Structure 1
């Protein structure tokens, strides 16, 4: 029985295309070798060696010339790539090296080469050319890594960024504390001193950034100028910090300000030490690894190839000197051989095509038809496969289907869980909280929401670094999980903030539970052989005592948590007295909710964009406005922050999109070339339903996707770059244009931005407004425009307030301008009137210089 099974298995074993091709190739190779042997015998018998040798000499010289020319072209292209890399350089280099190798292979395969010395030289040339090809490909591969090409770059990103962030954060905290104490932001002399130190620091950082831009442009004089500025500004900064320290010694500083002075001095010293090290690296001879590698590796290998070419040519000349007769007979014989090889090649191609058509093309066509007809759910069985390769193809398709299923499961888990701690995230917590509220409402009972954050977590991050902070969060998550009951849920909301949903829990049980958590978190954490201590503040809100919905419970737990933190308590249950300071805010939240239901004071203003250099209107940016009847105009940032904290950001985003798009549709009737820009918040980039909201708004207003441009700030995008990239790819696939807003104020890198499907970079107004007076701002704007254009992006400059700035931007090649020089943000009726006045071309108030450029 077993023997019969084995026989059946052997009988149904499928043939391999590789074996068929190998058999056919072996047959053709046998014929070719046999023909070459016969031709050699005939040539030796016909006393025509001399003529054959002359023909061989000509062919060899031609091949050697091709090899030399290909190597020279590859070398010239390699030099050009090192100076100004272009996309076609790499293809040209590899193509020329392949051409040289093919020419050499053709020469090596020439059956007429029988001289041992010449064959040895050609083999040696093959080795040298292979070595050169390896070195060139290695150089091309290594150049794809900027850190390898410029050893200075990783040092800058790893050592200079953190002190800058620490200095800025400390100065901001001190200014905020002084402003709160004085009651007026710019009233005190102390505020001015801190602000002056921060301004000097930013000027020094600006000189550093401008120096790096000029360094990339290889302008050594400009780099020295920026370094001199840094050397001048640093002592001034340290002197100003010393003044602040003298105030601290006199007891004139608050708690945050005292700590800020220490952090600022430490950060400034660390930054200066790192900058001096970076300067030494820049001044070293080997500041570009690619040119050094070209000198020490590629050039010697290239010289060896040229030397070997000369040696082969000398050997050919020596050999050809002995062969000068019987040229005509050898030429006829060579022609016969070429015709025979051509016919054999054609026959081989025909046989290969017939074999591929029968064994590959026809079965693949059948598989493709099956995939089309039933969606790929049922591929053909393995019985009808004509080869092992087709059978492997079907198995690969089935394996791919299984992988897609597993990836979908992984994506669902990723969308509902925090990537660092593996805990549920805010979305999953809100879903479980709403389900728990419904369960408690049906069956009766209580639940508690505990909101907690870590004390001194920022100090751990600043002192030990973010990797240690991440490991601390992971250990905190593990301790929280071990403290829970099976029915409880713990989630990470973001940063060092966690939330716990405890079912069937009253106030006393919640306080007891909070004490248990506080005790677990207060213990020592050992991370990288260091003992870390943190505390926690816990706020508790109870259902139904403190709220009947998830939003109210989360908000009041947050209020209780801040009350516990301010009172120095480990935990605190929410009480209405804690909420007195937020009465106005809650009132505004309620009014904002009513406005979204029935807008009366909430509206959209529009600010136009002008195309450069023509000056024609090219688009509109929609800006949210709320003219409150009691509090007056509410700043848009406050509206957004309020909506994000209260869960209204989703309805607010939907209302802004629908209102702006429907109004914009009326403008398109008279101005069909306009586009509409709408800003997104950081929360929007975390909302998986955003593409559906955008699609519904476009459908409701009957507008195509390309008429809408969504603007995202650098900081919002860098909060969660992986998720942001995935969401932006979905929006881009829908046809919506994407723009990076306030570019230059964040810390995103072009290496990351070029991976995003964005169409436009919007230069922040802080660089544009002073570019006529500040050369550094002008350099940054010009460099940003050039870099953006090289990456295929359009550029918008905001903050254009004078005609001179607009003229300069047009001369620099900026694509669009926006600012008060064109028009302030105005209501819909006023923007219609503005378009009627300026739809005919360049506005009359634009400068003659811009008109000349146009």
Structure 2
């Protein structure tokens, strides 16, 4: 039947427990709902305060997110969003000040400070938007890049080009060709240095992810390239001392040295600005002005929550009876569950663990090939236990059959089906003991096949195997049933003749 299985009994007990627990939960819910209805009037004002606090929090949180989005992408949509949320926070804070509970709990000054901090934050956010929207205010070094470094870059490139054109004739000696190569290499190295500097600027702005990973590489490249440019300018200066550059070449060299020096000073100024943390004007403003204002606002809201928590604790006395009744009901359920656990343990011990223990003892007995006695449990009441015992019985039988096969394979030669060296030694030991006790003769013959290797070498191993099989059959047919024949390996065989005479042994050997 249904209750004869472990599954059925479990479902029956679980269903009963579920019914009791659900009934208790429904009763407790009904009682708590009635108490909640009676207490609703007392907490109405606090719910109103919580609602205003929630609106202020959401408005400040959304304004902060919109401000972060604006810093990433300065769009007017984000400005409108955070201004709208600041206005919403101010309206709700003003309405919160008018609630009687605020004045009665002494929070009026805190709410006034909260209102003032939101106004200051709104003004500071407008200032931050102005910084973020103006590229020159956002990056104070932009005038240096635009007015100095860009002009120096163009001036150096133009001077190098003019110097290169000065030595562009077809009939030039080796010295002129060398000077032309110096101007070309200087211009090329300058272009590479400017490219490295542009990558340096992109890394500073965070366009390629983490600025720190690529900055040092670009700085090293710029230093190396500038040193190479200075070396080439020094070589050109030596040629100038030899009066080999001519009028335009001399002027180009002077312009290149001047613009390179001015550009390098501006570059060092930009690096110093980045090191000092003044690369962007919005970051210090956020750190020193915006973030402290947010912290003050969140602190005021936290103090409001703490005051609400204190107010909530004052109404706990009215819920004491509900808590006591719930405690009694909980203890009743605990006792019921403990009884269920004890009953479950009894069933587990009686119907599951005891049969499993019997199966375990049967497994140990199986190792020593003793009688397991497990057949007496096949009439167990639970279907699951019956299936387990039946599976053990079937598995035990298969194991014995397999063990017999393995023992045969371990003691017999696979090719000839004769006993192997292992079984020979075991049988020989027993026969020696028997012969000693009975004073009976015993003969051991060892033989091999002449010219068997030639058969394997000329006719193949397959035919050699057939020869061994045929020799095994003939040996068995020539001896008594009480004699023992074993294959030692290769073409070697052993014959053990027990209870025999010397004449019979010689005849068998012949």
TM-score, normalised by the number of residues in structure 2: 0.47
Question: Larger % of strand: which?
Answer: 1
Question: Larger % of helix: which?
Answer: 2
Give the greater-gyration-radius structure (CA): 2
Higher relative contact order (CA 8 A, sep 6+): 2
TM-score, normalised by the number of residues in structure 1: 0.29
